[in-house]
Amino acid sequence: MDKIRLATVWLAGCSGCHMSFLDLDEWLFDLAAKVDVVYSPVGSDIKEYPQNVDICLAEGAVANQENLALILQVRQQTKFLISFGDCAVTANVPAMRNMLGGSEPVLKRCYLELSDTSKVIPQDSQFVPELLEQVLPVHNIVDVDLFLPGCPPSAQRIKDALIPLLKGEKPQMEGRDMIKFG
């Protein structure tokens, strides 16, 4: 049987969910026996998101043009997309900038008002992706197949969600151990 093609992506988040994923420790060996990690900031060195991904864990909210382009591509090329952690599910901390009311006030606050020396708003979108007006959770942009909340979701929670998925079953997302936010 072909191995399951697993990917993880990192949008606007702190990478804590990925750290929690690495906290799976020795179970990662069991996982590696069942999956090919085809794209991941912590598990592979592939630059282009590949075709025909079976399962993708998407960490982070959608905050800029780069996040947006990536998540649209991920959705097209992935069978089962998981909103991985609170930022993906609720937009969480990255979305606290939304309360300032748009990208312009955020950039001014950050690069002009709070800057000590060179007061310049970065302009070159080739190097710095443009901010979206609002930071949004992943399911506001594309359809999501499973929500895995937590900031970060514990290694145990990630494992309990992945085990049924590897068998082709949908995990039971209920109870404090599985769906508590924060």
Partner 1 sequence: MSVKTLKINGIDVAVEAGTSILHAAQETGIRIPTLCHLEGVSDVSACRLCLVEIKGSDRLFPSCITEVSEGMEVFTHTEQLQENRKMLVELLFAEGNHVCAVCVANGNCELQDVAIEVGMDHTRFNYQFPQRDVDLSHPQFGIDHNRCILCTRCVRVCAEIEGAHVWDVAFRGENAKIISGLNQPWGDVEACTSCGKCVEACPTGTIFRKGSTTGEKERDRTKVEFLSLAREKHQWTR
Nearer to partner 1, 119 or 181 (CB): 181
Q: What's the min distance (Å) between Cβ of 52 and partner 1?
A: 26
- Beta-bridged to residue 81, according to DSSP, are 56
Q: What's the min distance (Å) between Cβ of 173 and partner 1?
A: 5
Nearer to partner 1, 21 or 147 (CB): 147
Contact by Cβ (8 Å): 152, 17: yes
Residues near partner 1 (CB under 8 A): 83, 86, 89-93, 95-96, 98-99, 101, 134, 136-137, 139-140, 144, 147-149, 151, 173-176, 178-182
Q: Which ranges constitute the DSSP H helices of 10-153?
A: 16-22, 27-34, 65-76, 86-90, 103-107
* Residue 157 backbone class (left: φ over 0; alpha: ψ -120 to 50; beta: rest): alpha
Residues contacting residue 30 through CB under 8 Å, at least 6 positions apart: none
Beta-sheet pairing, 62-64 with 131-136: antiparallel
Q: What's the min distance (Å) between Cβ of 54 and partner 1?
A: 21
Nearer to partner 1, 53 or 89 (CB): 89
What does the radius of gyration of the chain's CA atoms come to, in whole angstroms? Answer: 17
Q: What's the min distance (Å) between Cβ of 120 and partner 1?
A: 27
Q: What is the DSSP letter of 128?
A: S
Nearer to partner 1, 43 or 94 (CB): 94
